[in-house]
Amino acid sequence: MNTRSLTFLALLAVSAAASANEQIDIPSIAQQTGLTERQVRMALGAPSAFAEYRTSYAFATDKVRRALGTEKFREAVAAMKAAQQSAGTQRSSGTP
C-alpha cells in the first residue's frame, strides 16, 4: 500500500471518529437519564474498563436504552465503538 492510500485511510478513520463523537452527546444523555457521564459511557462503550461494571452495567444500559429508544441506543453504541476503534488505531500508529 502506498503512502497516499495510508494517508487516505488515516483521514477516513479520523473523520469517522469525529462524526461519531458529534452524534453522541454524553452530557445531554446523562442529564436526560439522571446517570453520570461515566455511567453513560459505560452503557454505550466498553463496559469492562469500569470498576462498577459488575454492579451497575445492566441498570445503566437499561436506563439509557429507555431514554434514547432502542434504535437510537443501537446507533449510539455503534458510534461509540467506532470512536473507540478509531482512537485505538490512532494510538497504535503513534498519532496523538
What pLDDT, in 10s, does the model give residues 62-78?
A: 999 999 999 999 999 99
Section 3-7 average pLDDT? 43
**Whether pLDDT at 8 is above 60:** no
Retrieve residue 23's grid coordinates: 452524534
Handedness of CA 14, 16, 19, 23 (dihedral sign): negative
- In percent, how much of the chain has pLDDT > 70? 64
Give the pLDDT score at 18. 46
Q: Where are the alpha helices (DSSP H) in the chain?
A: 3-23, 26-33, 37-44, 53-68, 70-92
> What pTM was computed for the model?
0.57
